[in-house]
Amino acid sequence: MFEKTRLGNGVRVVTAPMPQIGSVSCFVTLAAGSRYETPESKGIAHFAEHMFFKGTERRPTARTISTEIDAIGGEFNAFTGKELTGYYVKCGSETRDTALDVLSDMLLHSRFDPTEIEKEKGVILEEMNVYLDTPQRYVGNVYDRLLYADQPLGWDILGTKETIEATTRETFTSYLNAWYRPERIVVGVGGRIGEGLSERLEELLGGIEPGPTGTPLPVELPSDTSPVMLHTKASEQAHLILGVRGYPIGHPNRYALQLLAVVLGGGMSSRLFTEVREKRGLAYYVHAAHSAYTDAGSFYSGAGVDVDRVDEAITTILGELRKIAAEPVPANELEKARGYAKGRFVLRLESPQGTIQYGLRREVLEDEIEEPDELLARLDDVTVEDVQRVARDLFEDKRLHLALVGPFDDPARFEKLLAA
């Protein structure tokens, strides 16, 4: 499904041809994100994403850029994570070259006008306020701070009020010069790709000079801190994440881990949904997942629960984690989880955007792409014994971590629950 080539300067190009589709999704993705920041530049990866849309030498304003994309009926946006950043345009296949030209112009020739930087600082600060006022989302930031403390993986992607207000044009140029290099750039094009793609990309991006790039510091896992972190906020619902340290992205247990997450918290028939919400009425939402980086990871459950029954919700989730480690998953339940995981993956690949994003993430973070048929076969190979082995490895005698947003100010109360 995927084809990989390189431009003369080392920029990788991943394509996913889908000739039966009338559209094309064009991505430029980079192995650069908030993990690559310094204490003084917290938030610059995300701030730069905003500024790329504010005007270039040829397209001097945000309106100029958006008008050109509107004129081809396209959709464009960007995203910033801890370890990767991406920019994309989706459009009709006949306007592919326009999309690629706009993307490359934004990345190579953005103006970073000081006046626009000052205006955008207010936008970023308001975005921070949105997260603070959305506890279901903000609890993830609290959990990251709990797991990784004062290092890049523990910092908020948006940065801090102080670092955003101190940002200058030089902050952007210094960051981009260090990380936006050919070795870290992967272009992805999925859908009806058309002719002459390599030549067009060479023309647009082949002039980026290779150069030295930085290396992110390895993560250090703090162990002498409280396993509980509270963000005290007056509310009628508590939002929690309860988890353990897990595996990095490329770990061989990833397939058993994926099915373990489905059994526990994937879908409305999962164990946590059934026990926490349906049987006990403790939560509006509850789920389980594994979050992985190149050298660290965490398996966790998230839930939004009644503040008066938060203790019961925590002990119920703990009970399900311990049960799945102690007792093998019945074969029919594993088959249901396998069908769920495979079906969701196949649905994701129905669109050019979903397909190329899958390939890009694997290429950027792992330097290789596992073909979909290979992934599905690996899921088929997972046994009941594999799932229990991974559950035991994760949950038996392991340190639990709890992040909680709600009207609470006594960590010791929850430390006792985790130790019980």
CATH number at residue 283: 3.30.830.10
221 falls in which pLDDT band (50, 70, 90)? confident
Is position 152 within any domain? yes
pLDDT at 224: 76
Within this chain, do residues 260 and 150 fall inside the same structural domain, yes or no? Answer: no
pLDDT at position 216 over 90: no
Q: How far, in Å, CA of 30 to CA of 370, rounded?
A: 19
Q: How far, in Å, CA of 110 to CA of 193, rounded?
A: 26
Within this chain, do residues 181 and 298 fall inside the same structural domain, yes or no? Answer: no
Q: If DSSP codes are grouped into helix, strand and coil, which group holds residue 405? A: strand
Is position 97 within any domain? yes
Instruction: Choose among 69, 53, 70, 49: nearest CA to 61.
Output: 53
pLDDT at position 35 over 80: yes
Arithmetic mean of pLDDT, 27-38: 95
Within this chain, do residues 147 and 285 fall inside the same structural domain, yes or no? Answer: no
Residue 293 in tokens: 């980086």
Is position 128 within any domain? yes
- Strand residue runs (E) in 19-175: 23-30, 75-80, 85-92
pLDDT at 57: 95
Within this chain, do residues 200 and 232 fall inside the same structural domain, yes or no? Answer: no
pLDDT at position 222 over 90: no
Q: How far, in Å, CA of 41 to CA of 248, rounded?
A: 26
pLDDT at position 26 over 90: yes
Domain count, the chain: 2
pLDDT at position 82 over 80: yes
Within this chain, do residues 326 and 194 fall inside the same structural domain, yes or no? Answer: no
Is position 215 within any domain? no
Question: Tens digit of pLDDT for each residue in 388-406?
Answer: 999 999 999 999 999 999 9
Residue 230 in tokens: 């509270």
288 falls in which pLDDT band (50, 70, 90)? very high
Within this chain, do residues 109 and 161 fall inside the same structural domain, yes or no? Answer: yes
User: Phi/psi of residue 301, each to 5°?
Assistant: -120, 135
Q: Which residues are catalytic?
A: 49
Residue 395 buriedness (CB in 10 A; 0-12 / 13-18 / 19+): buried
44 falls in which pLDDT band (50, 70, 90)? very high
Cβ atoms of 233 and 407 within 8 Å: the answer is yes
Is position 350 within any domain? yes
Within this chain, do residues 113 and 243 fall inside the same structural domain, yes or no? Answer: no
Within this chain, do residues 138 and 283 fall inside the same structural domain, yes or no? Answer: no
Is position 222 within any domain? no
pLDDT at position 293 over 80: yes
Within this chain, do residues 190 and 109 fall inside the same structural domain, yes or no? Answer: yes
Arithmetic mean of pLDDT, 245-269: 96
Within this chain, do residues 277 and 388 fall inside the same structural domain, yes or no? Answer: yes
pLDDT at 1: 92
Residue 337 in tokens: 């989880």
Is position 373 within any domain? yes
Q: How far, in Å, CA of 395 to CA of 397, rounded?
A: 6
pLDDT at position 214 over 80: no
Cβ atoms of 167 and 12 within 8 Å: the answer is no
pTM of the model: 0.94
Is position 153 within any domain? yes
Q: If DSSP codes are grouped into helix, strand and coil, which group holds residue 276? A: helix
Within this chain, do residues 176 and 238 fall inside the same structural domain, yes or no? Answer: no
Within this chain, do residues 156 and 260 fall inside the same structural domain, yes or no? Answer: no
- Containing structural domain, residue 321: 228-419
Q: How far, in Å, CA of 311 to CA of 412, rounded?
A: 12
Cβ atoms of 41 and 215 within 8 Å: the answer is no
Question: Tens digit of pLDDT for each residue in 359-375?
Answer: 999 999 999 999 999 99
